[in-house]
Amino acid sequence: MADTFRALVIDRAEGEKAQTVEWRDMGADDLMPGAVTVRVRHTTMNYKDALAITGKSPVVRRFPMIPGIDFAGEVVESDDPGFAPGDEVILNGWGVGEVHMGGYAGLARVRAEWLLKRPDGLTGAECMALGTAGYTAALCVLRLQELGLEPGAGPVLVTGASGGVGSVAVSLLSALGHEVAASTGKAEEAEYLRGLGATEIIDRAELSAPGKPLMKERFAGAVDSVGSTTLANALAQTRYGGAVAACGLAGGMDLPSSVAPFILRGVTLAGVDSVMAPIPKREAAWRLLSDRMDRAKLTEITREASLDEAVDLAPDLLAGKVRGRLLIAVD
């Protein structure tokens, strides 16, 4: 194991509000406690990572912090019998990059129970091309299936469709035989979304403006990563007995809705958390991604970058200038 490695570090002096972001050479002794040390090969950038780097939201709750809520690599040291040097592993969430040093570094040391062996059928790079966004999309699709969504039931709405969660959700739902209505504020992305399997493109403005508590029944279900008025309108247009899987708040944390969709149409609003999801749910989500994610579409979704570009890419991602997923090579 190398004596030193390079890491992107977010720091803040005690009593100060402004944070600093800089590259540092660190040693293994600088890492936080954990049973398994991993040589990081790939990571990614999610919305939460961009918030952490820019400081636009108080994502980081311990300083200094290495951001990066996802990583893939191989074990170099392990005090846990479940992992041995050379094992290829991935990690998503668990507060890594927020309260525990994350994947924007050459090495990461974490608790063994946070790791998964690399899913069969996917490379480490493909796992990070999907990342937490893709894994969250899979959790949403699985939740809708649990609630009875079946192909042929009607169109399934995906909001924020050109983003990371949305792009993977469109592709997965299409692969499973569903009609997909993709909502986006970028008219120029219509061809991209149709290429992923969308059968209908909806202007984001149709869902972002305040609507009625109940509207025409339109969707059999929905995957929503936007929240706020968009989520309220999705609920108001979900068909009797349908379900909406909510996993994001890019449009806001509020929900200007009423009980009408729930008590008059039996609609289910299902919250989907990816950060602390138990291992069986994670394994099921990654099996779905391995089995059903079209590799050609994953390539279309993915933009590759180096870790050196992370600081510059973060504001672009928050501004909606990044389509799909960012795969970041660490080594």
CA torsion through residues 259, 261, 262, 265, sign: positive
Do 147 and 56 belong to one domain?
A: no
Could you tell me the two tokens for 154? 């009607």
Do 61 and 187 belong to one domain?
A: no
Residue 42 lies in a domain: yes
Instruction: Summarize the chain as % helix, strand, coil (round to 5).
Output: 35, 30, 40
Write the CATH number for 94.
3.90.180.10
* pLDDT of 15: 78
The identity of residue 99, as a single letter, is: V
Domain count, the chain: 2
Mean pLDDT of 62-70: 96
Do 180 and 258 belong to one domain?
A: yes
Residue 141 lies in a domain: yes
Residue 123 lies in a domain: no
User: Taking the model in full, what pTM does it have?
Assistant: 0.93
Do 143 and 231 belong to one domain?
A: yes
pLDDT digits (tens, 9 = 90+) for 290-320: 999 999 999 998 999 999 999 999 999 998 8
Write the CATH number for 234.
3.40.50.720
Do 157 and 262 belong to one domain?
A: yes
pLDDT band at 322 (very low <50, low <70, confident <90, very high): confident
Residue 125 lies in a domain: no
Mean pLDDT of 112-125: 97
Residue 113 lies in a domain: yes
Do 145 and 105 belong to one domain?
A: no
Asked if 263 and 129 touch (Cβ cutoff 8 Å), the reply is no
pLDDT at 65 over 60: yes
Do 155 and 261 belong to one domain?
A: yes
Please give the residue range of the domain that contains residue 235. 133-271
pLDDT digits (tens, 9 = 90+) for 173-229: 999 999 999 999 988 999 999 999 999 999 999 999 999 999 999 999 999 999 999
Do 266 and 138 belong to one domain?
A: yes
Residue 71 lies in a domain: yes
Do 107 and 15 belong to one domain?
A: yes
Residue 127 lies in a domain: no
Do 139 and 259 belong to one domain?
A: yes
Residue 93 lies in a domain: yes
CA distance 44 to 99: 18
Do 153 and 111 belong to one domain?
A: no
Asked if 62 and 329 touch (Cβ cutoff 8 Å), the reply is no
Do 243 and 304 belong to one domain?
A: no
* pLDDT of 2: 57
Mean pLDDT of 13-31: 91
